[in-house]
Amino acid sequence: MSAAEPKSEQSPDAALKQLQQGNARFAASFKSDPKPTRARRLETAQKQHPIAIIVGCADSRTGPEIIFDQNIGDLFVVRTAGNVVDDHALGSIEYAVEHLGTRLVIVLGHARCGAVSAALDNGSAPGHIGSIVRDIRPSVEAVRGQAGELLVNAIKENVRRVAETVRQKAELGDLASAVKVAEAYYDLDTGKVAWLGPH
Q: What is the pLDDT of residue 17?
A: 96
pLDDT tens figures, 110-121: 999 999 999 998
pLDDT tens figures, 182-199: 999 999 999 999 999 775
Structural domain contains residue 1: no
Report d(CA 63, CA 14) in Å as an integer. 21
Number of structural domains, the chain?
A: 1
- State the DSSP code for 109: E
What pTM did the predictor assign?
Answer: 0.92
pLDDT tens figures, 7-30: 667 899 999 999 999 999 999 998
Does residue 3 have a pLDDT over 50?
A: no
Q: What is the pLDDT of residue 6?
A: 58
Question: 99: domain range?
Answer: 12-195
Report d(CA 53, CA 97) in Å as an integer. 8
Q: Are 158 and 116 in contact (CB under 8 A)?
A: yes
Structural domain contains residue 17: yes
Structural domain contains residue 6: no
Structural domain contains residue 7: no
Structural domain contains residue 61: yes
Q: Specify the CATH number for the domain of residue 137.
A: 3.40.1050.10
Q: What is the pLDDT of residue 8?
A: 66
pLDDT tens figures, 123-152: 678 899 999 999 999 999 999 999 999 999
